[in-house]
């Protein structure tokens, strides 16, 4: 099953843009709305489109996986009216590393999974892979949370961006969103 | 950069089909020729098309990577007039494993890299990932070798298929090819 999704920034979609925040490098320009489409939309007739696919976990051990499954929350919870799309690109030095080096940086050094676990189930997250599609970013990270957990989400981002792993991130921006009343 | 390639079985291309061999499950039907096209050919107007992309190594450690780089051979060597395309699908049990379990099965248990290393540089190989594109196979493995190394290639396949890792393979066939005189 092709799990590719396309994030379409334009005039349509259930998510209203609250703000775009640059983190590293130039952010994409802001559009009023964001739509999330299942499938690989080959032709983008909106302001911009970003594509990514879900895949198997690349660094998670058996024990970490069990903890993630136990604590994880699904997307689409009614109370999770806020969301963020954070596209991330890592530099060539990261991609030249071997699997054991990337794993060590990801968890033993940077505690990426452990930090994320502390914020579950309040901050639901989903990872889309873009690099293998020749996209401008390597990953599209997606988060959903209730307004009362926004401060915790901000803290999570600050902690992750302080890690050794993040020294390999060479482009990143935040698109903060609010669910439209339906 | 999008590294997707499309393998097109039909009447054209530099590779002449010698034979199709079923390994596990139904093989694809044989076409006279195989073409290898850069890019993701969305519409297949030949007998069949299979797509995959190159990516970073998923299991290789630093030390293994160094050995692979030292011994690897490139594709397109004039003496390597034989080739094989072997599409492989692994079952759900494999994909449900965590990274550390897959790594352990791949190398500590099955010695996949170590076995492959013994046949370098004579048997050049390249791996294409298909699963994340929603393709019918998870991997397209491609090999090029000179006629005098065909027996060694057969042996390599026998050894890999005896491993624990291969108990997770639920579909596989071989397309053996010979380069057309140019």
| B56 to A95: CB separation less than 8 angstroms, yes or no | yes
Neighbours of B22 (CB within 10 A): 12
Give residue A1's pLDDT.
58
B69 touches chain A (CB under 8 A): no
Specify whether the CB–CB gap between A66 and A85 falls below 8 A.
Answer: no
Share of chain A above pLDDT 70, in %: 99
Could you tell me if A83 and A177 are in contact, meaning their C-beta atoms sit under 8 angstroms apart? yes
From A97's Cα to the closest Cα of chain B, the distance in A is 7
pLDDT at B40: 87
Q: Does this model's pTM top 0.90? A: no
Distance CA A138, CA B132 (A): 14
Q: What is the dihedral of CA B169, B173, B174, B180, to 10 degrees?
A: -130
Contact status of A3 with chain B (Cβ, < 8 Å): yes
pLDDT surpassing 90 at residue A118? yes
CB pair distance less than 8 Å for A60 and B99: yes
The arithmetic mean of pLDDT across residues A84-106, rounded, is 96
What average pLDDT does this structure show over A112-119? 94
CB distance from A67 to chain B under 8 Å?
no
Q: Which of B122, B35, B129, B141 is nearest to B84 (CA)?
A: B141
Average pLDDT for residues B133-161, to the nearest whole number? 97
Interface confidence (ipTM) of the complex: 0.80
**Which domains are seen in chain B, by residue range?**
54-179 (3.30.70.3420)
CB pairs under 8 A between A and B: 63
Query: Is A182 near chain B, with CB under 8 Å?
Result: no
pLDDT of residue A104: 95
pLDDT digits (tens, 9 = 90+) for B34-93: 999 999 887 899 999 999 999 999 999 999 999 998 998 899 999 999 999 999 999 999
* DSSP strands (E only) in B74-131: 82-90, 124-129
CB contacts of B95 in chain A (<8 Å) are: 56
Smallest CA–CA distance, residue A35 to chain B, in Å, is 21
State whether residue B130 sits within 8 Å of chain A by CB. no
Does the pLDDT of residue A182 top 80, yes or no?
A: no
Chain B residues with CB under 8 Å of A64 CB are 98
Spatial distance between the Cα atoms of A21 and A3, rounded to a whole number of angstroms: 28
The CA distance from B146 to the nearest CA of chain A, in Å, is 30
């Amino acid at each position: 099953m092709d799990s590719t999704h396309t994030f379409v920034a334009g005039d349509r979609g259930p998510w209203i843009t609250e703000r775009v925040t640059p983190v590293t490098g130039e952010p994409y320009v802001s559009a009023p709305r964001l739509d999330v489409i299942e499938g690989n939309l080959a032709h983008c007739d909106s302001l911009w489109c970003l594509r990514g696919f879900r895949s198997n976990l690349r660094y998670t051990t058996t024990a970490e996986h069990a903890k993630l499954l136990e604590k994880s929350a699904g997307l689409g919870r009614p109370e999770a009216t806020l969301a963020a799309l954070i596209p991330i690109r890592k530099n060539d030095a990261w991609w030249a590393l071997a699997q054991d080096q990337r794993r060590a940086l990801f968890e033993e050094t940077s505690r990426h999974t452990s930090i994320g676990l502390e914020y579950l189930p309040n901050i639901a997250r989903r990872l889309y892979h873009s690099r293998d599609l020749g996209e401008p970013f390597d990953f599209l990270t997606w988060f959903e949370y209730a307004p009362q957990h926004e401060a915790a989400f901000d803290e999570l981002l600050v902690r992750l961006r302080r890690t050794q792993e993040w020294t390999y991130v060479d482009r990143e921006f935040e698109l903060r969103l609010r669910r439209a009343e339906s």
